[in-house]
Structure 1
Amino acid sequence: MRTIHAVTALAVTAALLGGCTSGSSPSPAPASAAPASNGVADLSASAILERARGALATATSFRVRGGVFHDAIYDGQGRGEDPQLWSVDVRIAGTDAAGWTAIGASKQESIIVGDKRYLRASEQILAQTVGPERARALTRERGGRWVTLPRRQRVFGDFVTAAYVDGLIKPKATVTKGAGKVIDGIPAIAVIDSGRTPTTVYVAITGEPYPVRLERAELEGLSFTEFGVAFPQIQAPPAADVVGPGKKPA
C-alpha cells in the first residue's frame, strides 16, 4: 500500500508541475534590431553631401532611373533655357555602363565597355551624333544592329555616367538640411542646394550613406538603386549584332 501511495503522490506532483509548465507564458521573441544609424543625420548639410559623394565614388556599381532636363539652368521663375526632358535608365559599373536615354518616342540604347561604345538609336537621335545623311544610311544598313563608336566620341543624349551623377549632387551654392523621408524603404535625410538649379538630394542615414534620390523643379527626379549589384547587361553585344561606323553589315 505504501508503494501505491508513493507512486500516486509522485504522479500527482508530476501532473501539477506539468500543468504549471504548460500554463506558463512563452518567453517573448527578441525584438528585431532597427538598422544602425550611419551618423550622417548629425552632420552639417555640406558634410552629408561630402559623405554621399564619397560613398558613390567607392560603389562598385549602381543604377540611375528617372527624368532630368539635361543642362537645364533655373532662373528662380522656371527654367531659363528650354531643354527637353530626358527619361533615363542606366546601370553603371566604374567607367563602364549600359542602359538607355530617351526624349519622348526617340530612344537610344548605349553600352560602354573598355575602349568601345555601342549605340543603338533612333534616326533622330543618331543624326545629332553622326549627321543626318549618315544617320539615314546607318538606319537602313544596320537592321536593328548596334553601331560601334570610339569610347571618347561625344554622343548626343548619352550623358549618364558616374561623373555626371557626382556633378548632380555636388553642391553649387549654400546647402541646408531638410526633413527626413523614407525612400523605397530606406530612411534618408534631405539636403537642399539653393543654387541656380535648385536641387534636393536624399542621403541614406543607415548603411552606406548613398544618395538614393535627387529631385528638382517640375518633372525632374532620379532614383539611385542597386548599389554593388553585378550587371550582366554591361557587356559587349555579339559581334554579329554590331555594325562599324564606316562599313555595312555582312
Structure 2
Amino acid sequence: MPTRRTALGAACAAAALALAAVAGCSSPPPPDPDAGTNGIGRQAPEAIASRARAAALAAPSVHLSGTVVSGGATYRLDVRLSAAGGTGSVVSGNRSFELLRVGSRLYVKGDADFYAQAAGGKPPSRLEGRYVRVHATDPAYRQLAVFTDKAALLNSITALGGPARKGDYREVGGVRTVAVGTDGGSTLRVSLEGTPYPVRVERARGAGVLALTDYGKDLTVKAPAPGQVLDYGTAGAAGRG
C-alpha cells in the first residue's frame, strides 16, 4: 500500500511539472500598446509626425505653454493662438510682457523692466498698465508677432529636422501618447486618443519643452479699448516721451 501511494504521488508531481512547463510556454503575449487607440502608433514614424503636424495646423486654436530657447535667450510662453490672432504672456530674464494680436494689429503691454529697456532708460509713466501699438514697420514687430502667430509657431516647433523614428509609449497629462523624433533632434509626443495632436514637444539640443493643449477651444481676440492704447505711429518709439 505505501508503495502504491508513493507511485501515485510521483505521478501527480510529474503531471504538475508537465502542466507548469506547458503553462510557461504558453504565457500570454504582452499587451498591445495600440489597442483601443486611434491607431496612429501603428503607422510609420514619418507618417505619425506628418499627421500630427497637419492636425495641429488645422486646429482652430491651441494653448501653448512652456519654454523656448532662441538666440541664447530663454522665453517662457503662455499663449493662446488662433488663425485670427493670439494673446498671452512672455517672460524673458527679468522682463515680462503681454501680447495681443488681432489680425495684423499687434499690441504689447510690458512691465517696468521691459519698457525701460525699450526706452533706453526710465520709461514714461503713462505707459504703466497700458498697451502700446506696434506697427508692422517697427523692427520689433516681427520679433514679437511670432509669439502670437499660430502657423509660424507650430511649423517651427513641430519640425523634427531629420528622419523620424518611433519612440516609447507614455501618458502625458492623462493622455496616452506615442513619441516620434529624430536622433539628437526634437521629439513630439502624439495623442493616441481622438485626433492625433502633438501634446508635448521636446525641442532639439535643449531648446525648450512645450505643452500643447485645448485644441479647438473657443478663442476670441479683440483689440483693447482706445483709452488703454498708446500709439506712437510707425516710428516704433515705444519709449518716446
More deviation, 50-59/144-153: 144-153
Q: TM-score, normalised by structure 2?
A: 0.72
Cα distance change, pair 214–152 in 1 and its aligned pair in 2 (3 A): farther
Q: 2:131 aligns with which of 146, 157, 170?
A: 146
Mark the runs of 5 or more structure 2 residues left unpaired by the alignment. 1-33
Matched residue SS, 1:172: coil
Q: In the alignment, does 2:225 pair up with 1:238?
A: yes
Q: 1:207 aligns with which of 194, 203, 220?
A: 194
Distance in 2 of aligned mates of 1:180 and 1:152: 46
More deviation, 215-224/111-120: 215-224
Q: 1:182 aligns with which of 150, 167, 171?
A: 171
Cα distance change, pair 151–210 in 1 and its aligned pair in 2 (3 A): farther
Which amino acid letter does the alignment assign opposite residue 135 of structure 2?
A: P
Q: In the alignment, does 2:77 pair up with 1:104?
A: no
Matched residue SS, 1:188: strand
**Alpha-carbon distance, 1:123 to partner:** 5.1
**Alpha-carbon distance, 1:122 to partner:** 3.4
**Alpha-carbon distance, 1:36 to partner:** 4.8
Q: 1:84 aligns with which of 73, 81, 91?
A: 73
Distance in 2 of aligned mates of 1:228 and 1:123: 34
**Alpha-carbon distance, 1:38 to partner:** 2.1
- Note if contact 2:161-2:186 (Cα within 8 Å) is conserved in structure 1: no
Which one has a larger percent helix, Structure 1 or Structure 2? 2
**Alpha-carbon distance, 1:179 to partner:** 0.2
**Any idea what the Cα deviations from partners look like across 1:140-188, whole Å, max 9, x if unmatched?**
3323210012257425455323212222112211221000111111111
> Map of 1:22-171 to 2, 5 A cutoff?
36-71=36-71, 83-122=72-111, 124-126=113-115, 131-133=118-120, 136-137=122-123, 139-151=124-136, 153=138, 154-160=141-147, 161-162=149-150, 163-171=152-160
- Note if contact 2:70-2:207 (Cα within 8 Å) is conserved in structure 1: no
Cα distance change, pair 35–227 in 1 and its aligned pair in 2 (3 A): farther
Which amino acid letter does the alignment assign opposite residue 38 of structure 1?
A: N
